């Protein structure tokens, strides 16, 4: 890199140091060549990495997805869109998309409501604000693996000594085998509650920041107009003012749900349970399982990427992506 940086200030001739009243132009920065060099100096390392570790894999993925690439990454047999058709006809992959949809339908609205509620509560109190904020945010320090461990081996353990079953026992309710079978689907409760615990604090902080930015005058004006504090002001002032944040939160939640892997993999026995298997676990097993089927896994990954793009676009259309953004 040293060779590409003839420091502009040194390269240019001596600046008229004596010409005091004339406002000097910054030295060596005017030339477009100098700017180009500087631009690449700053962005070059990042761009090279981006190309090698993001663009090349995307391209490779595209290429693999069009080939029969089982157990090899340099396939020769071109199969066109066959892998895509296979994946869309494959029960497990389609099931995983359905599972994702169920998961998103549960986790997105509940996280939204709970984190907003926590933010409103914390925002309204005067004392111990920092304490409560910290408590709700603290789970962010834990990984999904940690949460899975606690949930699976202590909180929702199927045996008597799981905490939930102990608590149920106090009320005379029999122990529940939370993860033993898909009927009834208790595993959704286990998985969703783990994720709720982990992510609510994070989104609460986003809402708190947004709540602080709502001008106080709006509430004062509403009070003058006779709006009762509580539901009315919440519906007509707070919620509309939170619009931009809400759009961002819902989008982030959807994308995070799409990429769910850790807790499903760990809670449901390395994803071996075919029920409750989300797309990423399915693709992981396709690519790194016994078959090492990179062609099908790549096709599945691209289908998934397309779906995410589609959801983003649809959400943008309906919720006015960025329209509510102040700046």
CB of residue 309 to another protein, shortest distance in Å: 6
Residue 304 binds to another protein (criterion: CB under 8 A): yes
Taking CB under 8 A as the binding criterion, the range among 77-85, 95-103, 177-185, 298-306 that sits at the site for another protein is 298-306
- Residue 276: count of CB within 10 angstroms of its CB: 22
Q: Which two tokens stand for residue 166?
A: 């102990």
Residues 89-108 that bind another protein (CB under 8 A): none
In order, the DSSP letters of 121-139 are HHHH-SSSHHHHHHHHHGG
CB of residue 73 to another protein, shortest distance in Å: 5
Distance of alpha carbon 308 from alpha carbon 230, whole angstroms: 37
First to last CA, the chain: 37
Residue 258 binds to another protein (criterion: CB under 8 A): yes
Note every long-range contact of 319-326, with CB atoms under 8 Å and residues 24 or more positions apart, other chains counting: 319/246, 319/247, 319/250, 320/247, 321/247, 322/244, 322/247, 324/243, 324/244, 324/247, 325/244, 326/244
Residue 192 binds to another protein (criterion: CB under 8 A): no
CB of residue 210 to another protein, shortest distance in Å: 7
Residues 135-164 that bind another protein (CB under 8 A): 135-155, 159-161, 163
Provide Rg for the chain, Cα atoms.
Answer: 27
Q: How far is CA 156 from the centre of its chain?
A: 26
Q: Of 49 and 80, which CB lies nearer to another protein in the complex structure?
A: 49
Q: Of 2 and 224, which CB lies nearer to another protein in the complex structure?
A: 2
Residue 191 binds to another protein (criterion: CB under 8 A): no
Residue 282 binds to another protein (criterion: CB under 8 A): no
Taking CB under 8 A as the binding criterion, the range among 75-83, 92-100, 196-204, 216-224 that sits at the site for another protein is 196-204
Q: Of 154 and 181, which CB lies nearer to another protein in the complex structure?
A: 154
- Residue among 235, 248, 247, 239 at smallest CA distance from 214: 239
Residues 216-235 that bind another protein (CB under 8 A): none
CA distances to 10, 15, 25, 148, 263 from 20, rounded to whole Å, are 20, 11, 12, 68, 66
Residue 243 binds to another protein (criterion: CB under 8 A): no
One character per residue 44-83, x = contact with another protein (rule: CB under 8 A): -xxx-xx-xxxxxxx-xx--x--------x----------
One character per residue 307-326, x = contact with another protein (rule: CB under 8 A): -xx--x--------------
Q: How far is CA 104 from the centre of its chain?
A: 12
Q: Of 141 and 224, which CB lies nearer to another protein in the complex structure?
A: 141
Distance of alpha carbon 111 from alpha carbon 124, whole angstroms: 20
Residue 241 binds to another protein (criterion: CB under 8 A): no
């Amino acid at each position: 890199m040293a060779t590409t940086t003839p420091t502009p200030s040194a390269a240019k001739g001596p600046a008229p140091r004596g010409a005091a009243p004339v406002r000097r132009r910054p030295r060596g920065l005017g030339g477009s060549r100098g700017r180009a060099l500087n631009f690449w100096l700053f962005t070059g390392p990042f761009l090279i990495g981006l190309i090698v570790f993001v663009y090349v894999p995307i391209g490779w993925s595209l290429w693999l997805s069009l080939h029969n690439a089982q157990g090899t990454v340099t396939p020769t047999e071109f199969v066109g869109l066959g892998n895509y058709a296979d994946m869309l006809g494959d029960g497990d992959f389609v099931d995983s998309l359905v599972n994702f949809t169920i998961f998103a339908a549960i986790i997105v609205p509940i996280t939204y409501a709970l984190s907003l509620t926590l933010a409103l509560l914390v925002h309204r109190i005067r004392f111990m604000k920092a304490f409560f904020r910290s408590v709700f945010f603290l789970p962010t320090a834990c990984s999904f693996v940690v949460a899975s461990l606690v949930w699976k081996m202590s909180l929702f353990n199927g045996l008597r000594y799981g905490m939930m079953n102990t608590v149920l026992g106090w009320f005379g309710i029999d122990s529940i085998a939370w993860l033993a079978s898909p009927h009834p689907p208790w595993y959704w409760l286990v998985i969703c509650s783990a994720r709720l615990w982990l992510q609510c604090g994070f989104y609460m902080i986003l809402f708190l920041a947004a709540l602080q930015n709502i001008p106080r005058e709006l509430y004062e004006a509403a009070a003058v107009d006779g709006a009762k504090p509580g539901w009315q002001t919440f519906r007509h002032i707070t919620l509309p003012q939170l619009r931009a944040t809400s759009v961002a939160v819902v989008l982030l939640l959807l994308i995070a749900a799409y990429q769910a892997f850790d807790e499903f993999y760990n809670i449901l026995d390395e994803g071996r349970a075919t029920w409750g298997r989300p797309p990423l676990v399915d693709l992981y097993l396709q690519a790194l399982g016994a078959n090492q089927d990179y062609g099908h896994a790549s096709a599945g990954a691209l289908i998934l990427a397309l779906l995410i793009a589609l959801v983003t676009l649809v959400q943008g259309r309906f919720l006015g992506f960025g329209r509510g953004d102040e700046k």
